[in-house]
Structure 1
């Protein structure tokens, strides 16, 4: 597979003109044909291989679920701008394991992000069958990430992180058949966004976006297109939603593990923060995180497998509380 001129020039700018490219392997095409994720093997360079995320806006846009619109395309372009900024300006300070960014270059409608190949550090993608240990490694990663960035904001990231955020999904909201959830969508959104304790959320923290080091028993996260502000429990919800259904029997134990890790990391990064208050408020918002995600799925893909008994039951619980005025979730900030 041939590299673009921008990709080659970016590699040379990062590692010197004397490098040689010996092999290029396609890892996967990006969503909606917006580019490729590539592994590039090198000689006469300080590293044996790198990962290149090449983003190029296609002339003919194709969405797997049929959501073709100018708004959808603009959202996708914005997501790669956010990811570029994260890797270029913010990832170096991240204490949770992420790939090092060597260089980012843009020209016209093309962007190239040159990243550390985590496989060289023995981080590998998920196996076909996830273990409870791997889920806990991801939860530990999220707890450290959320604790480090508590009350941190950046106007170059999404104001509200996550790919299903209500303000960016007006088309899906309008397409919903569930009028009750549609009616309360803004109330649910407000509950999450007005929580006193905000942090940075990964925004797409499914299991497939983590790599695992078996020896270190550690996870590393990739794919930061939807990183932005929010409550950490949104990431936790999405992670648990991506588990095999049989592991949902451990849901409460996994939540307890996350909050135990979060407490420890908060004590480390923010010793003056009321740790128990953060954990209490976020735990109370767990059903709201599910209801918010269900709202998106019901408009985007009404037959989605994640619209199951568990997710729908939690959503009904939230709707009942809102309708009856018995909402007992945490206090919010103005």
Structure 2
């Protein structure tokens, strides 16, 4: 597989012109074919391999769900700008395991992000359904991440993180046929965004965006990182786990909040950790309702619109005026 000129020049800038490209492996194409995620194996370099995220707007855009529009394109392009900013300004200070950023480069309509290959540190993606240990490691990662970034300004990131944020999804809202949920969309959004305990959230914390090894988890894919309440990440993580494990939903929430309180005591000894946990726990059902609102407009037959998500959304709606 050929590398773009921008990718090659950026690799030379980082590792020197003596390096050789030994192999290029496609990990996956980016959403709507906006580029590629590659593993590039090197020789005569300080590292064996790197991960390259190469972004370029395709000549013809074909969204898997049919949502191609100028607004959709601009949202995706901003998401890659945000991801570059995250790796440039935030990742080196993050205590939760993330890939090291070597460089990011944008020329005209191309962007390249060069990242450390977490596989070189023995991290691996899920090869089958997640088990309880892996879910808890991902929850622990989120708890530390949210605690460390509590009350940190999301400068250069999304002001409100998450790919389903209401302000970025007007077309999906307009397409909704659930009028009750549609009418309450702004109220739910305000409940989440006006909580006094805001942090920085991952924004796409599904299990597929975590890698694992014996010592714990690391997270990847920071396109939708930004401000918000941590319970939004927790909701999305639990939404992505096997339904058979949902019977332990209360246990997973208890585990997250236990870890969150512990990390808050470490990073913010002056803040009442119990109060933060109480506020975020009360917003769990509204985080679900907010996500269901997006799904009902974006993909009304989505498998995550199941008995559990619909029931908890109804519970949230019953508590709204």
2:238 aligned partner: 240
Aligned mates of 1:93, 1:163 — CA distance in 2: 24
Aligned mates of 1:129, 1:316 — CA distance in 2: 28
- Look up the SS of the partner of 2:184 in the other structure: helix
CA deviation profile, 1:268-326 (whole Å, cap 9, x unmatched): 11110110000000000000000000000000000011111111111111111113xxx
Instruction: Determine if contact 2:154/2:200 at 8 Å carries over to the other structure.
Output: no
CA deviation profile, 1:119-139 (whole Å, cap 9, x unmatched): 000000012121000000000
1:78 aligned partner: 78
1:274 aligned partner: 272
- Look up the SS of the partner of 1:22 in the other structure: strand
Structure 1: tracts of 5 or more residues without a match: 324-334
1:38 aligned partner: 38
Aligned mates of 1:196, 1:154 — CA distance in 2: 15
CA deviation profile, 1:212-268 (whole Å, cap 9, x unmatched): 01x32x100000000000000000000000000000011000000000000010001
1:99 aligned partner: 99
- Look up the SS of the partner of 1:322 in the other structure: coil
1:66 aligned partner: 66
2:222 aligned partner: 224
2:194 aligned partner: 194
Aligned mates of 1:98, 1:276 — CA distance in 2: 27
Q: Does 1:207 align with 2:207?
A: yes
1:300 aligned partner: 298
Q: How does 1:108-127 map onto structure 2 within 5 Å?
A: 108-127=108-127
- Look up the SS of the partner of 1:67 in the other structure: coil
Aligned mates of 1:155, 1:45 — CA distance in 2: 34
Aligned mates of 1:302, 1:105 — CA distance in 2: 38
2:53 aligned partner: 53
Aligned mates of 1:280, 1:189 — CA distance in 2: 19
1:7 aligned partner: 7
Instruction: Determine if contact 2:99/2:115 at 8 Å carries over to the other structure.
Output: yes
2:262 aligned partner: 264
Detail structure 1 runs of 4+ shifted over 6 Å in the superposition. none
1:330 aligned partner: none
2:308 aligned partner: 310
- Look up the SS of the partner of 1:180 in the other structure: helix
Aligned mates of 1:116, 1:102 — CA distance in 2: 7
Aligned mates of 2:320, 2:273 — CA distance in 1: 27
1:326 aligned partner: none
Aligned mates of 1:102, 1:116 — CA distance in 2: 7
Structure 2: tracts of 5 or more residues without a match: none
Give, in angstroms, the shift of residue 154 of structure 1. Answer: 2.5
Q: How many residues align?
A: 321
Aligned mates of 1:268, 1:154 — CA distance in 2: 21
Quote the RMSD (CA, aligned, Å): 0.6
TM-score, L = length of structure 1: 0.95
- Look up the SS of the partner of 1:40 in the other structure: strand
TM-score, L = length of structure 2: 0.99
Give, in angstroms, the shift of residue 89 of structure 1. Answer: 1.5
Aligned mates of 1:151, 1:93 — CA distance in 2: 15
CA deviation profile, 1:66-115 (whole Å, cap 9, x unmatched): 00110000000000000000011110000000000001111010010000
